Structure 1
Amino acid sequence: MDFTEKKVKSDYKFHGKIMSVRVDDALLPNGKPCKREVCEHVGGVGILPIDENRIVTLVRQYRYPYETTTLEIPAGKMDQGPEEALECGRRELAEETGLRAGQMIPMGELWPSPGFMTERLHLYCAKDLTQGETHPDDDEFVEIVRMPFDELCQRIASGEIHDAKTVAAIGKALIMGL
């Protein structure tokens, strides 16, 4: 069975720094018309830094849409012009935590919310870490938090950590034996 929907027309409603929003007129597989709301996102990278003692470096930061502080892996958007995911990951890791990774192990790509968003999030596990200076963006206020990998797993299992990229990165690391 063919589940493909056909885009007929797009109407952009908003263009921002990291996303654009459009409403499409489309045709369902049975030929009936429908509307699809789409958020086009620039994409990003999440990095799970694990040192030789299985200590994970996380960042605590305020997340405006949820009006709360979160604990999550370092991450960022691919907003530096044409940028490869690996380059973005190294840059974001250094900016937010000051860490440099001797090894960046690819853990795949996630689609955080494919029902309405085009965001592609690339995950890496950073190993062979050395500490340097942080260089956060002007609008970025983060606290570095280090904790054992097993404790992070427990906090995810208990529901304390809600951030999807962090939960996914830990799951991928466990599956991959990292």
Structure 2
Amino acid sequence: MTRPGVDVPDRRGRTGLDQVGRDLTGNPRVRIRDVRVLTSNWFVTRTTTFDVQHSDGSWSSEERETYDRGDGATILLYEVAARTVLLTRQFRLPAYVNGHPDGMLVETAAGLLDADDAETAVRRETEEELGHPVGEVTHLFDLWTSPGSVTERLHFFAAPYAHGDVVAGSRTGVRHEGEDIEVLELDVDDAVSRIGTGIVDAKTVLLLQWAVLSGPFAR
């Protein structure tokens, strides 16, 4: 039996996806025993069996599923004089099926790295989602946002933008990928006041809090 992504190429031309993680040696208390690919339709779901040594010295065998969609990057664009930030609004099916009223989330521009480095990717996503090229960008930090099951590491950036160069309410996105994105220009204090109600996306909350606590709007 042939297995797409393992023995034969999957739809993205990949093989050997069951080898990821087998050679890890950084933690002597963890021994990888087996890796099985469950799906590789576009992203990759794996089941990994491993032995782990506990604090009392005993060992146990564990099995975990991981979802590998690659790493990503996100950016907050800000205008200090106008005290504004540039965000997006778009439909997110996973949020919709898990209780969000309409699935329309307000977010910072973001996307997967694919074959690019983090800065190149975040510049690409800024132009695609906000219709606005950026100059110098600042790398802030990298975070794992759901480390219990998702392998993605998200690279966080910030950059200034020119207040008069943006058309708020315009529509952007890569149409052949099904994107239909609304550009939002919000007062930063208004945006922060919406955290937990109108703004419920984690990466966006983190960047807004950075902006007012230690970033360009810090007092």
Given the two structures, how large is their TM-score scaled by the length of structure 2? 0.73
Residues 1:146 and 2:185 aligned together: yes
Larger radius of gyration: 2
Instruction: Within 5 Å, give how 1:48-59 maps onto structure 2.
Output: 48-52=76-80, 53-59=82-88
The one-letter amino acid paired with 2:181 is: V
Secondary structure of the residue aligned to 2:34 is: strand
1:101 Cα offset (Å)? 1.7
Give the paired residue count.
173
Secondary structure of the residue aligned to 1:50 is: strand
Verify the 8 A CA contact 2:171 2:181 in the aligned structure 1. no
Verify the 8 A CA contact 2:172 2:180 in the aligned structure 1. no
Instruction: Within 5 Å, give how 1:128-147 maps onto structure 2.
Output: 128-129=161-162, 130-131=165-166, 136-138=173-175, 139-147=178-186
Residues 1:62 and 2:91 aligned together: yes
Given the two structures, how large is their TM-score scaled by the length of structure 1? 0.88
1:134 Cα offset (Å)? 7.4
Aligned with residue 156 of structure 2, among 120, 123, 135: 123
Residues 1:20 and 2:44 aligned together: yes
1:4 Cα offset (Å)? 3.6
Change in 2 beyond 3 A, CA 1:141/1:128 = closer
**129-138 or 46-55, larger mean C-alpha shift:** 129-138
The one-letter amino acid paired with 2:173 is: P
Secondary structure of the residue aligned to 2:134 is: strand
Percent identity (aligned): 28
CA distance in 1, matches of 2:122, 2:139: 10
Deviation string 1:32-89 (CA, Å, 9 cap, x unpaired) is 111111111211111101024121111111101122111111111112x2x1101111
Contiguous gaps of at least 5 residues in structure 1: none
The one-letter amino acid paired with 1:70 is: L
Verify the 8 A CA contact 2:172 2:183 in the aligned structure 1. no
Larger RCO (CA under 8 A, 6+ residues apart): 1
1:155 matched residue in structure 2 = 194
The one-letter amino acid paired with 2:30 is: E
Verify the 8 A CA contact 2:144 2:153 in the aligned structure 1. yes
Secondary structure of the residue aligned to 1:151 is: helix
Structure having the larger proportion of residues in strand: 1
Residues 1:74 and 2:102 aligned together: no
The one-letter amino acid paired with 1:154 is: S
Aligned with residue 36 of structure 1, among 64, 67, 88: 64
Cα RMSD (Å): 2.1
CA distance in 2, matches of 1:66, 1:47: 21
1:159 Cα offset (Å)? 3.2
Verify the 8 A CA contact 1:100 1:131 in the aligned structure 2. no
Secondary structure of the residue aligned to 1:124 is: strand
CA distance in 2, matches of 1:21, 1:142: 28
CA distance in 1, matches of 2:89, 2:120: 23
Change in 2 beyond 3 A, CA 1:134/1:78 = farther
Contiguous gaps of at least 5 residues in structure 2: 1-26, 97-102
Verify the 8 A CA contact 1:78 1:85 in the aligned structure 2. yes
The one-letter amino acid paired with 1:34 is: E
2:214 matched residue in structure 1 = 176
